[in-house]
Structure 1
Amino acid sequence: MSVFYEFDDVDAFTTGTVGVPGNRTFFMQVRSEGQRVTVKCEKQQTAAIVQYLRKVLSDLPPPEDRPMPGALELAEPVAASFVLGPIGLGYDRATDKLLIQLEEVGEVDEDGEMVDDDRGHVRLYVSRGQAAAFCDHADRLVESGRPDCQWCTQPIDPDGHACPRMN
């Protein structure tokens, strides 16, 4: 049975990692009125959400509210309800909130059609301030990974780096 959550107001929407750079697992987490939903995701999915949210926020007035920095930390224990697949994003002018839909990755048949419709789903609305804070936090998190090699631009592992341009 899949999970389905819908939050009109959230206490926190954040992203975080477990593990060390080069071997991190990314998560997104929503907390609202004692409920917590955690979704396992990829770093690129987090960056894509940030890119979209920043584009929408650039067309809106600056946010007046910002969550406290502690609200952006993952709450323990970190146990994923599902692995993130399709992402839906939008803006609701009537409520002045950004819509974020996170759906579970599903199986696809040879025609590209979804095989299983019973997938996990989280729909939430965040304020402009929450979206801006998520973006700032996610940017720092994504950038805190392994540094890139100055010659080949590939990530440098903590144990060393066999640069193809230096061989």
Structure 2
Amino acid sequence: MTESPAHVHEFDWPDRVVIGTIGRPGARTFYLQVRTGSRIASVVLEKQQAEILAEKLDEILDELMALEGNPHSVPASTPVELVDNDPLDPVEELFRVGAIGLGWDPTTAQVLVEAHRMAEDEFDELLKPESETLLVRMPVGATRAFTRRTREVVDAGRPMCANCGHPIDPDGHVCTFPESG
């Protein structure tokens, strides 16, 4: 069986890259959204994927800052002119994200994010063997802004129970953690 070519939605130096949500806390859908001009791509990811994505991107930037002789100016915090608190642009979902790959391109001083389509089930790859990927290349300042917003969006969810660490639903919470004392 020959492998079908990959479909890549590529954004190089995009105007906007954000994580945003639709829905109320406890029932939110997380989106990674990228825009260049009027071209918009939105993919669904899990809250944990968004949280880890921000963490790993910050680690890449911190490592670049600490690199001896690094010729790239990596900001330690989010440049104020890059703060983006606007809602998502209109969402038309491309796919649900499975694996995420990260990288650094020293020739363009850009961070790379590859979000790969998740197979719907074990037969999905047999029926639709073509892969689909969202590839985003963004400069270091935009990456810092992206990680800041992502952390804020993730933290804006349901409050966590101090006893068991699970989210507290608006309808109440039954804690399974035994009281100490």
TM-score scaled to structure 1, two decimals? Answer: 0.86
2:87 alignment counterpart: 73
Q: Which amino acid aligns with 2:116?
A: E
2:38 alignment counterpart: 34
CA contact (8 A) 1:10 1:30 kept: yes
Q: Which amino acid aligns with 1:158?
A: P
Greater Rg over alpha carbons, structure: 2
Q: Output one character per residue of 1:70-102: Cα deviation in whole Å (capped at 9) or x when no partner.
A: 4753112x1211111111110001111001111
- Mind listing any 5+ residue stretches in structure 2 that lack a counterpart? 1-5, 66-73
TM-score scaled to structure 2, two decimals? Answer: 0.80
Q: Output one character per residue of 1:11-63: Cα deviation in whole Å (capped at 9) or x when no partner.
A: 01101000111111100101012200000110011111111101110022433
Q: Output one character per residue of 1:79-127: Cα deviation in whole Å (capped at 9) or x when no partner.
A: 21111111111000111100111111025659xxx54431321111000
Q: Secondary structure at the match of 2:148?
A: helix
Q: Structure 2 vs 1, CA of residues 72 and 133 (structure 1 numbering), >3 Å: closer, same or farther?
A: farther
Please report the RMSD computed on the Cα atoms of aligned residues, expressed in angstroms. Answer: 2.5
Aligned residues: 163
Q: Secondary structure at the match of 1:38?
A: strand
- Mind listing any 5+ residue stretches in structure 1 that lack a counterpart? none
Q: Secondary structure at the match of 2:173?
A: coil
After superposition, residues 1-167 of structure 1 pair within 5 angstroms as: 3-61=7-65, 62-63=74-75, 68-70=82-84, 73-76=87-90, 78-106=91-119, 109=122, 115=126, 116-165=128-177
2:3 alignment counterpart: none
* Identical aligned residues as a percent: 33
